[in-house]
Amino acid sequence: MVGYALSTGSINYMNASQNIIEVSVKDFQQDVVEKSRQIPVMLEFYAPGAAPSELQAPVLKKLAVEFNGKFLLARVNVQENQQIVQQLGVRTLPTIKIIVNAQMAHDLEGEQTETQLRELLESLTMSPIERIREQINLLLLAGNRQGAIQMLQEAISQEPQNHALHVELADLLVMESRIDEARELLATLPSDTIGIGKPKNRIEFSELSASLPALTELLDSVTQQPEDLPLKYQLAVRLVANDQIEEALEVLLEMLKIDKDYDEALARRTMVKIFELLGKGDSTATAYRRKMFTFLH
């Protein structure tokens, strides 16, 4: 093993969560190999007092606590577990090995940044629906909405009871103006299905916009009558139906500025529907939720 400098400090793991364990030869099979069939296991090879270990350990501990059970951090003291070191070919410190389904998935030598490790862990711990959403977003960014629909249909054929997949498919069908198909699909789902408000709100905006003037006409009208709140609302609805979400939110903020109580707080209620349409955790929704709060208070 390559030599390493010593440090006078030490890492305090007394307050570490249950997602961080010490591993030895006798419990390696159970705590690492078998556990890796359930969640990824990150093996951290360290030496007490070694400078490289001192630098890397706090980052790993932070991630283990933050991911809260999505992966297990298994620490291997190289001074006490030479058999594991030799069998796994550990040559330097720090070394990190990630085991998934009893197989070596990643072998990292040298210091790793928090960003590098976080991105790797996110890819390993992502749920099936999150993986599909990520792939769908890539297809949508490429303008391949049909490809995204086909991917969801294939996923549903494999997981017919996964309601989250049905919700995503319904939303894409609405975007493709296949509203009747979307309605039929949504009718098969429990009313409390997570995220069901997204396609339902998109249907509502689509139907509201169907009877409105063209977008260019509304833009001209609002330019000429900037204080006309009914016109502004119509423009916002048209913009949402045209997938110009941020522009629609800006128009609704203008409505709040003019009269936040207009038509039983119509602008606020509409913004909330758009936030549901965007989905939990969306950066645009988060930013405009703050702006809305500022206008209301």
What are the pLDDT digits (tens) for 46-62? 999 999 899 999 999 99
Which pLDDT band, with edges at 50, 70 and 90, does 128 fall under?
low
Instruction: Report which DSSP code applies to 35.
Output: G
Which pLDDT score is estimated for 161? 85
According to CATH, the topology of domain 128-194 is 1.25.40
Which pLDDT score is estimated for 233? 98
pLDDT at 11 over 70: no
Half-sphere exposure (Cβ direction) of 154: Cα atoms closer than 13 Å: 8
What's the chain's Rg over C-alpha atoms? 26
SS3 (DSSP) at 96: strand
Average the pLDDT over 77-87 and give the result: 95
Q: Quick check: 249 and 288 in contact, CB under 8 A?
A: yes
Going from N- to C-terminal start, the domains of the chain cover: 20-125, 128-194, 212-296
According to CATH, the topology of domain 212-296 is 1.25.40
Q: Please tell me the distance from the alpha carbon of residue 211 to that of residue 279, in angstroms, as a whole number.
A: 26
**Six-digit token string for 290:** 């703050």
Q: Please tell me the distance from the alpha carbon of residue 284 to that of residue 273, in angstroms, as a whole number.
A: 13
CATH superfamily of domain region 20-125? Glutaredoxin (3.40.30.10)
pLDDT at 87 over 90: yes
pLDDT at 6 over 70: no
pLDDT at 13 over 60: no
Average the pLDDT over 205-220 and give the result: 95
The region of weakest confidence among 6-15, 59-68, 196-205, 272-281 is 6-15
Please give the helix or strand (H or E) that residue 105 lies within, else none: strand 103-109
pTM for this structure? 0.56
Domains 20-125 and 212-296 share a fold: no
Please give the helix or strand (H or E) that residue 260 lies within, else none: none
DSSP sequence for 193-222: -TTTHHHHHHHHHHHHHHTSPPHHHHHHHH
Place of tokens 């556990």: 35
The alpha-helical segments, DSSP class H, found in the chain are: 25-28, 51-67, 82-87, 114-125, 128-141, 145-158, 163-175, 179-187, 197-210, 215-224, 229-241, 245-259, 262-278, 283-296
Residue type present at position 75:
R
Using a pLDDT cut of 70, give the percent of the chain over it.
Answer: 94
Instruction: Report which DSSP code applies to 13.
Output: -
pLDDT at 2 over 80: no
The region of weakest confidence among 125-134, 137-146, 174-183 is 125-134
* CA distance readout (Å), 292 to 166, 244, 251, 281, 296: 31, 18, 12, 16, 6
Among residues 291, 220, 221, the alpha carbon closest in space to that of 257 is found at 291
82-90: long-range contacts at Cβ-Cβ below 8 A with a sequence spacing of 24 or more?
A: 83/25, 84/23, 84/24, 84/25, 84/28, 85/1, 85/45, 88/43, 90/1, 90/45
